Amino acid sequence: MLHYSVLLKEAIENLNIKEDGIYVDATLGYAGHSKCILKKLKKGHLFAFDKDLDALTYSKQELQLLGKNFTLIHDNFENMKKCLEEKGIKKVDGILFDLGVSSPQIDEKTRGFSFMQDGPLDMRMDKNQKLSAKEVVNEYSQEDLLELFYSYGEEARSKQIVEKIIQTRKEKEITRTMELVNLIEQAVGAKYFYTHHPERQIFQAIRIEVNNELNGLEKILPDAISLLKKGGRICVITFHSLEDRIVKRIFKKYSEVDEMVKGLPEIPECFKPIIKIVSKKPILPTKEEIKENPRSKSAKLRVIEKVIE
């Protein structure tokens, strides 16, 4: 199965993996990053999370070739702290988040993530959940779709697209990915469509909504920071500005002195920053990586280290 792990070398190097450490791959996917982590662990252990059973099944087979010191968890990464505590793990040495959709998920047309090939309107990472792209497109109100496309898609012509969807679904249910793509083109006109590619933004917005991606990220990052041992690191790979803004804001909050005590000659320990930002600017893919895997073009890697436990 062809799968490119974006910023693989950079993420693994920045985790500073210790051979006896405990590490978490919050977004297992098809095990690209996890395999590299596991290769570096001798006495340590890897915990990996994913909502996608297909990914877990595939990755288990891949990881078993490298050792037995790993545990796969079928759950949303936002439940990481609770799941680890249930296994007796209170602190870890490093956590990796790769927030992109895996290539096999995009390329498998039956999953409905792709706007380039026809498939059912689905987009669920966890196929057991009820909400899918079909429900969003056919059941959300005009106001909710507008807010969704403007907020999560940042698409300038959201109004025209929503109006076309509402008009169409009065006559028939919208069930296929290419059906939605064609509606988007009709709504904005061919010139705008082929110049700005609004289908990318609309599909992104629907996918984020279906999988509750941004709310989950807001919840887990403070938890992840609290899980780290002193000296432990978190690496986060984002693929669009909405995710990156959340990561940047939360990392900034925990890496600065509390506003209440700024300017004091002596800062009390409890008000000092608990993390330091390792990469002041995000780490970006090389030209070579972008050439090999064009999907990596928008990726950004941010890294922090725990300085107070």
Q: Between β-strands 92-98 and 45-50, what pairing exists: parallel, antiparallel or unpaired? A: unpaired
N residues, the chain: 309
Helix (H) or strand (E) holding 64: helix 53-64
Domain's final residue, options 211, 228, 249: 211
Q: What is the mean pLDDT of residues 282-286?
A: 95
Say which DSSP state 115 is in: S
User: What is the tens place of the pLDDT at every residue in 85-102?
Assistant: 999 999 999 999 999 777
In which band, very low, low, confident or very high, does the pLDDT at 104 lie, cut at 50, 70 and 90? confident
What mean pLDDT do residues 214-227 have? 96
Letter string b/e over residues 18-57, b meaning 16 or more CB atoms within 10 A of that residue's CB: beebbbbbbbbbbbbbbbbbbeebeebbbbbbbbbebbbe
Give percent above pLDDT 70 in the chain.
98
Is 26 within a domain? yes
Name the residue among 95, 3, 1, 11 with its Cα closest to residue 285.
11
Q: Is residue 134 over pLDDT 70?
A: yes
Residue 3 scores a pLDDT above 70: no
Q: What's the domain range around 229?
A: 8-98+213-306
**Radius of gyration (C-alpha) of the chain in whole angstroms:** 21
**Residues 58, 28 share a domain:** yes
Q: Are residues 150 and 233 in the same domain?
A: no
User: Is 265 inside a domain boundary?
Assistant: yes
Q: In angstroms, how far is CA 292 from the centroid of its own chain?
A: 21
Domain match, 190 and 217 both: no
pLDDT score, position 1: 47
Residue 2 has pLDDT above 70, yes or no: no
Of 296 and 305, the structure prediction assigns the larger pLDDT to: 305
User: What is this structure's pTM?
Assistant: 0.90
Q: Are residues 200 and 223 in the same domain?
A: no
